[in-house]
Structure 1
Amino acid sequence: MTTTTTRPRATGFPGYSETWPCEAQSAARARSLVRAVLQTWNLACLIDRGVLAISELVGNSVQHTNCELVQFSITMPDRHCVRISVTDTSEKLPRLRFRSSGEDMSGRGLTLVAFTADQWGVDVHPKGKTVWVEMLARQTPSNSKAI
């Protein structure tokens, strides 16, 4: 069995970006990268939300587009905010479904992303789109320090 380790490639301060084939296995790679980056940035409080978001965003590109590649990035616009994004070359925009029946096998992913993210959106480009989420690391009594 072969094991691959994701090695983040720096794209800015701080930020990481990778481009992978638009296939289901890329979601696992993206989850690994999110975990590694958030641990490195001491933002473990965002790992569960970040992993959920990237799984859904990459999954949507894989399932709903015919793209060959998907680009993933994670940046920290400020000290307590993380932005996770997925870019593909499809012009098809994601659709937030407000209702789904209990029998639906799909269609809830973007609703989950919208619920767990502090902000989310879509940036349209001449050759595709970027779907992004922003998450804030909130101080809780257990991780705040008395001054």
Structure 2
Amino acid sequence: MPIPRKPVEAVLTSHPTYSEVFPCEPSTAETGRRLVRGVLGIWHLDDLADRAELIITELIANASRHTPCSEIRLVVGRPSATRVRVGIADEEPSRLPALSHAGIEDESGRGLLLVDAVADRWGCDLQSAGGRLRGKEVWAELRAGGDE
């Protein structure tokens, strides 16, 4: 077999996604940040890592603070060559995220405002199985350089 003289470049031919289940607790944020940074590094999208880490930290904090779930699923996907989607799925469809307006003295309540400020877009998808709501995924997308 001949050895290529030029370096071989990986070409995105599908929509890769990585996900893993973690405890729904604030300490999961550190693991989530490392995971997101690692996946983005593999995809050569290191320039998105700081914003993605901030987003995943806030989404994990919200899930651990506002849901009674014992587990969450962290999801890092690449819906296209120029977009990355990070999200947290939980099994509490009745507690939907909402932007709040924290006061100057408030110590919390700004998480989704931060997500809204650094993400290109964000949202929440309800998940169902067997005709019943089973959970939700709160997600945010970041766009890498270039057009789709």
What is the TM-score of this pair, normalised by structure 2? 0.82
- Paired amino acid for 2:99: L
Matched, 1:127 2:142: no
Identity of aligned residues (%): 43
* Aligned residue in 1 for 2:4: none
Unaligned runs of 5+ in 1: 1-11, 140-147
Aligned-residue offset at 1:85: 1.0
* Aligned residue in 2 for 1:6: none
Q: Which stretches of structure 1, 4 residues or longer, exceed 6 Å deviation after superposition?
A: none
The 1-side partners of 2:72 and 2:141 are apart by 19
Please list the CA deviations of residues 65-124 of structure 1 after superposition, one character each: whole Å capped at 9, or x if unmatched. Answer: 100110011011111100001100112011111x32110100001011011101100011
Q: Per the alignment, in what secondary structure is the counterpart of residue 51 of structure 2?
A: helix
Contact 2:20 2:75 survives alignment (8 Å): yes
Q: Which has the larger radius of gyration?
A: 2
Q: Per the alignment, in what secondary structure is the counterpart of residue 66 of structure 1?
A: coil
Unaligned runs of 5+ in 2: 1-13, 128-132
Contact 2:52 2:86 survives alignment (8 Å): yes
Match of 2:69 among 54, 67, 91: 67
* Aligned residue in 1 for 2:3: none
* Number of equivalences: 127
Aligned-residue offset at 1:27: 1.2
- Paired amino acid for 1:93: L
What is the TM-score of this pair, normalised by structure 1? 0.82
The 2-side partners of 1:79 and 1:118 are apart by 15
Q: Per the alignment, in what secondary structure is the counterpart of residue 62 of structure 1?
A: helix
Q: Per the alignment, in what secondary structure is the counterpart of residue 113 of structure 2?
A: helix
